Amino acid sequence: MYREPRQHQRRSVIWLCLACLLLAGALLAWQAVAQQAERGQERGSALVMTLEGAIGPATSDYFQRGLSIAEADGAELVIVRLNTPGGLDASMRDMISAMLASDVPVAFYVAPAGARAASAGTYLLYASHVAAMAPSTHMGSATPVQLGGGGVPGIGGEPEETPDEEGGAGDDVGGTEAEEMSDAPATSENGDSDKRRGETAMERKVLEDAVAYIRSLAERHGRNADWAESAVREAHNLTARQALERNVIDVVASDLDDLLTQIDGREVVMADGRRTLSTEGLAIQRFDPDWRTRLLAVITNPNVAYFLMIIGFYGLIFELSNPGSLVPGTVGIISLLLALFAFQVLPVNYAGLALILVGMGLIVGEALMPSFGILGMGGIVAFVIGSVMLMDADTLNISLPLIGGVALVAAGLMLWVVTRFMGLRRRPARTGQEELLGSEARVLEGFQGEGHVRLHGERWNARSEVFLQPGQVVRVVDMDGLTVVVEPADIAPGEGPSGVNDEENAS
Whether residues 437 and 422 share a domain: the answer is no
pLDDT score of 177: 36
Task: Classify residue 192: in a domain, yes or no.
Answer: no
pLDDT score of 128: 96
pLDDT in tens, 64-82: 999 999 999 999 999 999 9
Whether residues 143 and 212 share a domain: the answer is yes
The yes-or-no verdict on residue 136 having pLDDT over 90 is yes
Identity of the highest mean pLDDT range in 156-160, 206-210, 323-327: 206-210
DSSP string, 132-163: EE-TT-EEE----B--TTT---EEE---SSPP
Does residue 57 have a cis bond before it (omega within 30 degrees)? no
pLDDT score of 198: 42
pLDDT class for 42, splitting at 50, 70, 90?
A: very low
Whether residues 92 and 168 share a domain: the answer is yes
Whether residues 63 and 110 share a domain: the answer is yes
The yes-or-no verdict on residue 416 having pLDDT over 50 is yes
pLDDT class for 411, splitting at 50, 70, 90?
A: confident
Average pLDDT, the chain: 79
The yes-or-no verdict on residue 219 having pLDDT over 50 is yes
CA angle 434, 440, 446 (to 5 degrees): 125
Task: Classify residue 274: in a domain, yes or no.
Answer: yes
Task: Classify residue 334: in a domain, yes or no.
Answer: yes
Sequence letter at residue 443? V
Q: Which residues, in sequence order, are bridge partners of residue 487?
A: 475
Q: Three-state DSSP class for 491?
A: coil
Q: Are strands 138-140 and 237-239 parallel, antiparallel or unpaired?
A: antiparallel
Q: Which residues, in sequence order, are bridge partners of residue 462?
A: 451, 484
Least confident of 79-93, 153-167, 305-319, 446-460: 153-167
Least confident of 63-67, 111-115, 243-247, 328-332: 328-332
pLDDT score of 189: 42
Task: Classify residue 341: in a domain, yes or no.
Answer: yes
The mean pLDDT value for 133-150 works out to: 78
CATH code at 501?
A: 2.40.50.140
Task: Classify residue 193: in a domain, yes or no.
Answer: no
**417-426 as b/e: b if 16+ CB within 10 A:** bbeebeeeee
Whether residues 270 and 352 share a domain: the answer is no
The mean pLDDT value for 20-40 works out to: 60
pLDDT score of 270: 94
Q: Are strands 77-83 and 106-110 parallel, antiparallel or unpaired?
A: parallel
The last residue of a domain, from among 375, 393, 426: 426
Identity of the highest mean pLDDT range in 127-136, 195-204, 294-303: 127-136
pLDDT score of 105: 96
pLDDT class for 491, splitting at 50, 70, 90?
A: low
The model's pTM is 0.61
Task: Classify residue 191: in a domain, yes or no.
Answer: no
DSSP string, 293-317: HHHHHHHTSHHHHHHHHHHHHHHHH
The last residue of a domain, from among 380, 405, 426: 426
Whether residues 93 and 242 share a domain: the answer is yes
The yes-or-no verdict on residue 215 having pLDDT over 70 is yes
CA 231/CA 210 separation, integer angstroms: 10
CA 362/CA 411 separation, integer angstroms: 12
Which residue would you say has higher pLDDT here, 54 or 157? 54
The yes-or-no verdict on residue 129 having pLDDT over 90 is yes
CA 343/CA 348 separation, integer angstroms: 6
Which residue would you say has higher pLDDT here, 21 or 100? 100
Dihedral sign computed on CA atoms, order 236, 240, 242, 245: positive
Quote the percentage of the chain above a pLDDT of 70.
74
Task: Classify residue 190: in a domain, yes or no.
Answer: no
Give the chain's radius of gyration (CA, Å). 41
DSSP string, 419-450: HHHHHHHHSPP-SHHHHHTT-EEEESS-EEEE
pLDDT score of 4: 52
Whether residues 233 and 137 share a domain: the answer is yes
pLDDT class for 163, splitting at 50, 70, 90?
A: very low
Whether residues 413 and 446 share a domain: the answer is no
Q: Which residues, in sequence order, are bridge partners of residue 458?
A: 455
CATH code at 260?
A: 3.90.226.10
The yes-or-no verdict on residue 109 having pLDDT over 60 is yes
Going from the C-alpha of 414 to that of each of 357, 364, 368, 409, 420, the distances in angstroms are 16, 9, 11, 9, 10
The mean pLDDT value for 254-280 works out to: 93
Whether residues 256 and 335 share a domain: the answer is no
pLDDT score of 472: 92
Sequence letter at residue 181? M
Which residue would you say has higher pLDDT here, 162 or 234? 234
pLDDT score of 374: 81
pLDDT class for 151, splitting at 50, 70, 90?
A: very low
Sequence letter at residue 402? L
Going from the C-alpha of 107 to that of each of 67, 110, 242, 277, 455, the distances in angstroms are 12, 10, 19, 11, 86
Q: Which residues, in sequence order, are bridge partners of residue 483?
A: 461, 480
The mean pLDDT value for 479-493 works out to: 82
The mean pLDDT value for 294-307 works out to: 87
The last residue of a domain, from among 399, 426, 453: 426
Whether residues 339 and 462 share a domain: the answer is no
Which residue would you say has higher pLDDT here, 4 or 14? 14
CA 232/CA 60 separation, integer angstroms: 22
| Number of domains forming the structure of the chain | 4
- Domain, as residue range, for 29: 1-42
Sort 378 into a burial class: Cβ within 10 Å, 0-12 / 13-18 / 19+. Answer: middle
Whether residues 70 and 213 share a domain: the answer is yes
Whether residues 67 and 116 share a domain: the answer is yes
DSSP 8-state symbol, 348: B
The yes-or-no verdict on residue 498 having pLDDT over 70 is no
Task: Classify residue 475: in a domain, yes or no.
Answer: yes
